[in-house]
Amino acid sequence: MDLERSITSAIASAPDAQTALSEAVRLLKAHRPRYTWVGVYLLAGDELVLGPYLGKPSPHTRIPLNRGICGAAASQKATIVVDDVNSDPRYLACSLETKSEIVVPIMQGDRVLGEIDIDSDQAAAFGEADRELLEEVARALAGKL
């Protein structure tokens, strides 16, 4: 079974939203070695609050919508891929080793529920296949939240 199907079926069979989020994070981190930090933020009011994650602890446990690449993706309601975080003025550093990042909103219709955030120690680590995989995972998670 490919990774997308493994994750969407784990999400579908999860007993609750928290398990679905944790399983998605676990499977992504386990199967994509270049995904150095994998986490989910959930929108609470006008802040993104860190949920399940794997990787080094992040200082950014609450991110206002007007800050960071995370805030930008939620505000724009669109996936953001940053090939070189150090040349992006929006970037909020989590680890000095991080070189690239992808943030994929979890949407129900027009409403943002949260987002998947992934950092890589490799520059330009996220291509079209990563975007498609993560957008599919975000759609599956939206059905559970």
Find, among 12, 19, 34, 43, the residue nearest to 106 by Cα.
43
Q: Does 42 bind ligand SME (CB under 6 A)?
A: no
d(CA 60, CA 120) in angstroms, rounded, equals: 16
Q: Does 94 bind ligand SME (CB under 6 A)?
A: yes
Q: Does 49 bind ligand SME (CB under 6 A)?
A: no
Inter-CA distances, 21 with 7, 51, 95, Å = 10, 8, 22
Q: Which stretch binds ligand SME (CB under 6 A): 25-33, 57-65, 104-112, 130-138?
A: 57-65
Shorter beta-carbon distance to ligand SME: residue 23 or 117? 117
Shorter beta-carbon distance to ligand SME: residue 4 or 83? 83
Neighbouring C-beta atoms of residue 13, cutoff 10 Å: 10
Find, among 64, 43, 61, 30, the residue nearest to 138 by Cα.
43
Q: Does 114 bind ligand SME (CB under 6 A)?
A: no
Q: Does 137 bind ligand SME (CB under 6 A)?
A: no
- The binder of ligand SME chosen from 119, 130, 133, 134 (CB under 6 A): 119
d(CA 7, CA 5) in angstroms, rounded, equals: 5
> Residue of minimal CB distance from ligand SME?
68
Q: Does 60 bind ligand SME (CB under 6 A)?
A: yes
